[in-house]
Structure 1
Amino acid sequence: MSSEPPAWVDAVLSRQRFTAYLAATGGDADAAVELEWWNLEVAAAFVVPLNRLELALRNALHPVLAAMFRRPDWWYSAPLDDNGRRKVTEAKRALVRLHGRPEVADDLVAQLTFGFWISLVSSTYHRTLWVPALHRVFPGAARRDLHEDLRNVLVLRNRIMHHEPIHHRHLDADHATVYRLLELLSPAIVGELTGRDRVPAILARRAPYGSSPAT
């Protein structure tokens, strides 16, 4: 059992970030290094199903909202709250920086964040968007449960994108949630994804430490 991490840890991870892995392994630096590598591997594997889910969500909501408001740039007619309008403005500014031309609806759809799309099925828009239109995207789903699932996935996705530890999460449950949402949005993609998804195999050989998710 080693209490000192290898030299690359300070240069690449920083001692402060490595502390979380040391805490999870009882101060065993060698085990902490293995846990950090495993965390990186499972995080990378999750990117694939999360990609399918994020794309499926926005591509399911956009046409329904465009039909509801009878315009492809429906965000100008939809009753977005302050946060929603801010995210649209940020996306428009990003497109100007990227393309240097006026916005195109399809480009803005791709630029809007995962969090923005998830917010559209929140309680904020229950009467204005869910009841008249968006419930059709998720046949039989309860909006509150759906939003909770999406929010949990968003937390996972953001931790992965910011290179944060996820080993302490209930990753089997997270994985099941992603598939449950995909079944609602695009059952056809589930079969395609299953054969390419590396998450189950990596979870099956979970590192010895970090195997008891936080409650």
Structure 2
Amino acid sequence: MTYRLALFDIAGTTVSDPGFVAQAFVGAMTAAGHPIDHEACRPLMGYPKPLAIARLLGDRASDAAVKAIHEDFVQRMLVCYREWPGIEPLPGAESIFALLRANGIKVALNTGFSRDIADAIIERLRWADRIDALIASDEVAQGRPAPDMAQALMQRFAIDDPAQLVKVGDTEVDIGEGRNARTGLVVSVTTGAFTRAELEPYRPDRIIDSLFELPALLGLADGARNAAA
């Protein structure tokens, strides 16, 4: 298969997340009078954040409550990604981006974050020139696991065959997105929210422990060795 687009998740897949996302969820929920613990957030990683908040609230959810908590969450994440230490590319991310692009494969990022948070990450890491596209969950009708973001990128790059996409992420909703978009390859990484054992029941095509393993899956084995050097 000839791949034309690699679609990567951000936090936990290409960017380190030392628990900051869960911390922002816990802080925003607690400030609103709905205390939760960090473990409650983990199954919801990767989902559009308003949906995740609604699920955390359960029968206490209302449009107003979700909106207020999400606005607090966004502000906490903006401070985190703009100011806090520990925000850095995961090993292999930048070199793999370069390798894929050198071989004619577009590199795109997508996320369950809103666009303002995604932009803060790209600005912090100075990735604007390292990727070909960025799309966030609030820019489409439905976020992951719906295929809307992947399909929007296919349209942007005039890709008619979804089998020419590879989806890479660290959560079950990344897998769901890849399946729903009918991408040619769905790859899970163990660098983020879920362990290998937790990812296996969702049946991605491959599970890898490092982005350095990705090029070999795409037939770029020699480049993978160079990227890791």
Q: Is the shorter-chain TM-score for this pair beyond 0.5, marking a shared fold?
A: no
Task: Normalising by structure 2, report the TM-score.
Answer: 0.29
Task: Normalising by structure 1, report the TM-score.
Answer: 0.31
Q: Of Structure 1 and Structure 2, which has the larger fraction of its residues in helix?
A: 1
Q: Which has the larger radius of gyration?
A: 1
